[in-house]
Amino acid sequence: MSDENNEFIRVDGRKKKELRPISIEVGVLDSADGSALVRMGKNIILAAVHGPRELHPKHLALPDRANLRCTYRMSTFSVPERKSPAPSRREKEISKVLTEALESVVLTHLFPRAAIDVYIQVIQADGGTRCASATAAALALADAGIPMRDLLAGVAAGIVDGEVVLDLCDVEDKEGTGDMPIVYSPMTDEISLLQLDGEFTIEQFEEALEMAIEGARKIYEMEKEALINRYKIDLEEEQDIGAEAEVGDTSEIEEISETFEGEELETELEEIEPDIEIIEDTELEEVTEHDEETEDDIEEIEVEIIGEEELEEAEEEQSVEEEVVFEEEQEIPTIEEQEPIEKEEIIEPSETIEEEIIEEEVIEPHETVSEEVPDVPIEESSDEMEPIPLTPGEEPEEEEDDNEEASDDVDPDTLEIAELEDKEEL
Partner 1 sequence: MTIFVKEKELIVPGQILAEGNNYKVGNGVRKDGPYYRSVVFGIFTGSGNTISARALRGKYLPRVGDVVIGMVIDVGLTMWRLDIGSPYEGILFANNATTRKFDPVKHDARQIYDVGDVVRAKIIAFDRTKDPSLTTLERGLGKLTGGKIISVTPTKISRVIGHKGSMINIIKKYTKTNILIGQNGRIWIEGKSMEDEMKAIEAIKLVEKEALRQGLTDRIEQFLKSYDEVKNRNE
Reported in sequence order, the residue ranges of 27-80 that DSSP labels E, i.e. its strands, are: 34-40, 43-54, 67-74
- Residues numbered 68 to 97 that lie near partner 1 (CB under 8 A) are none
Q: Give the integer Cα–Cα distance in Å for 45 and 94.
A: 14
Determine which residue in the list 285, 289, 327, 425 makes contact with partner 1, applying CB under 8 A.
Answer: 425
Least CB distance from residue 154 to partner 1, whole Å? 15
Least CB distance from residue 419 to partner 1, whole Å? 5
Angle of the 335-360 helix axis to the 396-405 helix axis, nearest 10? 140
Determine which residue in the list 48, 115, 136, 159 makes contact with partner 1, applying CB under 8 A.
Answer: 115
Residue closer to partner 1, measured from CB, 214 or 312 = 214
Partner residues linked to 35 by β-bridges = 48
- Residues numbered 243 to 282 that lie near partner 1 (CB under 8 A) are 246-247, 275, 278-279, 282
Determine which residue in the list 94, 224, 253, 311 makes contact with partner 1, applying CB under 8 A.
Answer: 224
Residue closer to partner 1, measured from CB, 108 or 204 = 108
Least CB distance from residue 302 to partner 1, whole Å? 28
Q: Give the integer Cα–Cα distance in Å for 315 and 309.
A: 10
Residue closer to partner 1, measured from CB, 17 or 224 = 224
Backbone angles phi, psi at 46, to 5 degrees: -115, 125
Least CB distance from residue 144 to partner 1, whole Å? 6
Residue closer to partner 1, measured from CB, 275 or 300 = 275
Question: Using the rule CB under 8 A, is 393 a contact of partner 1?
Answer: yes
Binding mask 128-167 for partner 1 (x = CB under 8 A): --------------xxxxxxxxxx----------------
Reported in sequence order, the residue ranges of 177-269 that DSSP labels E, i.e. its strands, are: 178-185, 190-194, 197-198
Residue closer to partner 1, measured from CB, 11 or 420 = 420
**DSSP β-ladder status, 114-124 and 67-74:** parallel
What are the Cα distances from residue 251, in Å, to 226, 244, 266, 307?
Answer: 12, 15, 17, 47
Question: Using the rule CB under 8 A, is 231 a contact of partner 1?
Answer: yes
Residue closer to partner 1, measured from CB, 317 or 397 = 397
Count of residues touching partner 1 (by CB under 8 A): 101
Q: Give the integer Cα–Cα distance in Å for 33 and 49.
A: 6
- Residues numbered 192 to 221 that lie near partner 1 (CB under 8 A) are none
Residue closer to partner 1, measured from CB, 80 or 387 = 387
Residue closer to partner 1, measured from CB, 65 or 83 = 65
Q: Give the integer Cα–Cα distance in Å for 169 and 47.
A: 20
The conformation of residue 21, written as its DSSP 8-state character, comes to: P
Determine which residue in the list 28, 29, 79, 388 makes contact with partner 1, applying CB under 8 A.
Answer: 388
3-state helix, strand, coil in the chain (%, to 5): 50, 15, 35
Q: Give the integer Cα–Cα distance in Å for 244 and 265.
A: 23
Helices and strands in the chain, H and E counts:
12, 10
Q: 232 burial class (0-12, 13-18, 19+ CB within 10 angstroms)?
A: middle
Least CB distance from residue 351 to partner 1, whole Å? 9
Question: Using the rule CB under 8 A, is 114 a contact of partner 1?
Answer: yes
- Residues numbered 24 to 43 that lie near partner 1 (CB under 8 A) are 33-34
How many degrees, rounded to 5, is the angle at CA 264 between CA 258 and CA 270?
Answer: 95
Least CB distance from residue 186 to partner 1, whole Å? 8
Residue closer to partner 1, measured from CB, 3 or 404 = 404
Least CB distance from residue 320 to partner 1, whole Å? 21
Q: Give the integer Cα–Cα distance in Å for 120 and 71.
A: 6
Residue closer to partner 1, measured from CB, 62 or 123 = 62
What are the Cα distances from residue 123, in Å, to 69, 79, 95, 217, 244?
Answer: 20, 9, 16, 25, 36
Determine which residue in the list 3, 11, 53, 323 makes contact with partner 1, applying CB under 8 A.
Answer: 53
CB 49 within 8 A of CB 209: no
- Residues numbered 319 to 378 that lie near partner 1 (CB under 8 A) are 329, 332-335, 338-339, 342-343, 346-347, 350, 354, 358, 363, 366-369, 372-373, 376-378
Residue closer to partner 1, measured from CB, 240 or 309 = 240
